[in-house]
Each structure stands twice: as structure tokens, then as C-alpha cells.
Amino acid sequence: MKAIVKTDFNLPGQRGKYTGKVRDVYDIDDRYLAMVVTDRISAFDVVLPEGIPYKGQVLNAIAAKFLDATADIIPNWKVAVPDPNVTVGYKCEPFKIEMVIRGYLAGHAWREYKAGKRTLCGVPLPEGMVENQKFPEPIITPTSKAAEGHDEDISKEDIIAQGLASREDYEALEAYTRAIFQRGTEIAAKQGLILVDTKYEFGKTDGKIILMDEIHTPDSSRYFYSEGYEERLAKGERQKQLSKEFVREWLMANGFQGQAGQKVPEMTPEVVSHITDRYVELYEHITGEKFSRVPYSPEQIEKNVADCLTGLL
């Protein structure tokens, strides 16, 4: 199966196209966005040279499922899923921040903590914690959203001072972030998983805050298996996890962390196939549903999306 790493569609009402790290986003009549989740994969803010077959379908399906599961908490941008790789939704004005919420000391937070930092994005961190330990309560550690390169940690007060959000809007974003994270935590628990940390993106349309983009996918979130979590924590062992972290770990083990002068290690067919299998595993564990590997093509995707948009315009 060949991965889809690039699209060049001509869609009804199309006014423009934006190419992100993973998504190709088509502006439709300045009212809708057709977000194509390609099979590109990024790590350390670098798009890797090989695509991962079915990765786009996995991410799109998980995001759609969780958008539906949280729609009673906050309205979201989703209108339709006309193709397994595509979500069509409302266009809105995005906040230029990502709301990162962490229930456990892992990933970036752990790396900062291990380096001696006891404040992250203005949030104090307790002394004496160990890697993957649960925080007394989840902490929110936002990042400013960079047009290119790395997103940067930022505090609530700096967000407000820089005009990235008003105080009223930011406090609403925090409340939504906690509520969505709680819902995701409850859903994960039913699947024998722990939602460790995740990020959300929000925007405004008609003056109302809405939830955008993907949520609770393995690209935006980290999951641990509940079974054996306490035992591994007590022994100082690595947690068994479901997230894109395994890709980052493979890159780091091969000398790549996105730094200048570093070269991405060779992604052999075996490596690519292994990453596909891990993404399918992620889908099945997170959703509790079997993933069907149905062949797909750019031409088929374009037709499905065009048919959907014809009905909307």
C-alpha cells in the first residue's frame, strides 16, 4: 500500500490551500475547510521523508470519534467526514496557542523537570516527583503556535499580555480544556488506558469559541496502559504506552532530535510497515473497534470530498 504524502485537489468552491506538517487544508468558499489528513508523519517538528500507509485514516477516525464524544461540552468545527482521510468543517479564526494539559509528569515536562526546572509555563511543579508520576491535579502548560519551527512554552500571563487571548477567553479555554480532558480520561479508562497528556486547539466563529483540529489522537496525545502502571512506576521502569513517542524514541536512538546538522535515519520498508502496525494498534486500543485496511487513492478521496461539498454549497 502506497502512502499518500501529497494532495493537489481541485474542489468545488476552493479558494486556497494550506499545507501543514501532516494535513493539507483546503479553504472552501471562505466558509468551510476540507482537512485532508495525509500519511505524512512528523517528529521534533520535522516532516519525515517517508509516509506511513493508513496513518491518516487512523488519525482522522479517532479525531472524529472524540469530537462527537465531546460535542456536549463545547461545539466543534466538524460538519462531515466524507472520506476516511478527510474531515470537512467550519472555518474559524484560530487562537495562536495550543492548550496542552498534562495529568502525568512525562515527555517534555519530564525532560524539563529532570533538567532541574520546577516551573513550566508559569505553573509550579512539586518537588520529589519521578518520571510518569501522576500530578495531584492536571496542569495546563500552553505553547505559542509557531508558523514554522518549534512551538514555544508560554505562560497564561504572557498569553494575555501578548494579546494572544483576552483574559476572559483564556479562562474559558482553560475550563474547556479541563472538561474535555476529563471526558477523554473517562473514555480511555474504559479501554484500559490512561490519558497522560494531550493538546487542544480552539478558534472563534460568530464570536463563539469552538474546538478545532484533531483531539485525543496518538499524534496529539500520550496514553499509558492502565494494567501494570503502578508496578512499573514503583520499579522505575518505562511505561507501556500508546502514542507517537515510539517514533521519537526510534529517532533519538538513531541520533536525531531535529537539531541542526542531524540527519533523519533511513526509514526502510520494514520500519514504515512497523509504524503502520503501531498506528493500527493505537486505533484499535483507543476506540475498541477493529480497523479495516481498505485500499485508497487520491482520486477516490478527491471525488468523495467534492461530492460532499457540492451538497454543502
Average pLDDT, stretch 130-139? 98
From the list 312, 301, 302, the residue with the least C-alpha distance to 57 is 301
Give residue 150's pLDDT: 65
* 20 falls within a domain: yes
Minimum mean pLDDT range among 148-152, 255-259, 272-276 = 148-152
* 231 falls within a domain: no
Q: What is the pLDDT of residues 187-242, one digit of tens each?
A: 999 999 999 999 999 999 999 999 999 999 988 899 999 999 999 999 999 998 88
* 230 falls within a domain: no
Is the pLDDT at 178 greater than 60, yes or no?
Answer: yes
- Same domain flag for 206 and 105: yes
From the list 210, 100, 222, 209, the residue with the least C-alpha distance to 154 is 100
Is the pLDDT at 243 greater than 80, yes or no?
Answer: no
* 222 falls within a domain: no
Give residue 147's pLDDT: 61
* 232 falls within a domain: no
Read off φ and ψ for residue 50, nearest 5 degrees: -115, 140
Distance CA 42, CA 39 (A): 10
- Same domain flag for 105 and 84: no
Give residue 199's pLDDT: 96
- Same domain flag for 289 and 304: yes
Which residue spans within the chain are E strands per DSSP?
Answer: 14-19, 23-28, 32-37, 42-43, 46-47, 78-83, 86-90, 93-94, 97-104, 119-120, 123-124, 134-140, 143-144, 152-153, 193-205, 208-212, 221-225, 241-243
* 226 falls within a domain: no
- Same domain flag for 99 and 54: no
What percent of the chain lies above the pLDDT cut of 70?
98
Q: What is the CATH number of the domain that holds 64?
A: 3.30.200.20
Residue with cell 512499573: 232
* 257 falls within a domain: no
Output the CA angle 207-184-63, nearest 5 degrees. Answer: 65
Question: How many domains does one find in the chain?
Answer: 2
- Same domain flag for 87 and 98: no
Is the pLDDT at 149 greater than 80, yes or no?
Answer: no
Q: Domain residues for 152?
A: 94-182+196-217
Give residue 45's pLDDT: 85
Give residue 291's pLDDT: 96
- Same domain flag for 112 and 211: yes
Q: What is the CATH number of the domain that holds 100?
A: 3.30.470.20
Distances (CA, A) of 241 to 194, 235, 238: 9, 16, 9
Give residue 148's pLDDT: 59
- Same domain flag for 100 and 200: yes
- Same domain flag for 37 and 139: no
- 309 neighbors 28 (Cβ within 8 angstroms): yes
Minimum mean pLDDT range among 167-171, 264-268, 281-285 = 281-285
* 1 falls within a domain: no
Distance CA 225, CA 63 (A): 20
Q: What is the pLDDT of residues 136-148, one digit of tens each?
A: 999 999 999 866 5
Q: What is the pLDDT of residues 52-98, one digit of tens each?
A: 999 999 999 999 999 999 999 999 999 999 999 999 999 999 999 99
Is the pLDDT at 163 greater than 60, yes or no?
Answer: yes
Side-chain half-sphere exposure of 192, counting CA atoms within 13 A? 9
- Same domain flag for 85 and 100: no
Q: What is the pLDDT of residues 103-118, one digit of tens each?
A: 999 999 999 999 999 9
Collapsing DSSP to helix, strand or coil, 149 comes out as coil
- Same domain flag for 212 and 129: yes
Residue with cell 495529568: 103
DSSP structure class, residue 165: S
- Same domain flag for 213 and 126: yes
Is the pLDDT at 121 greater than 60, yes or no?
Answer: yes
- Same domain flag for 57 and 158: no
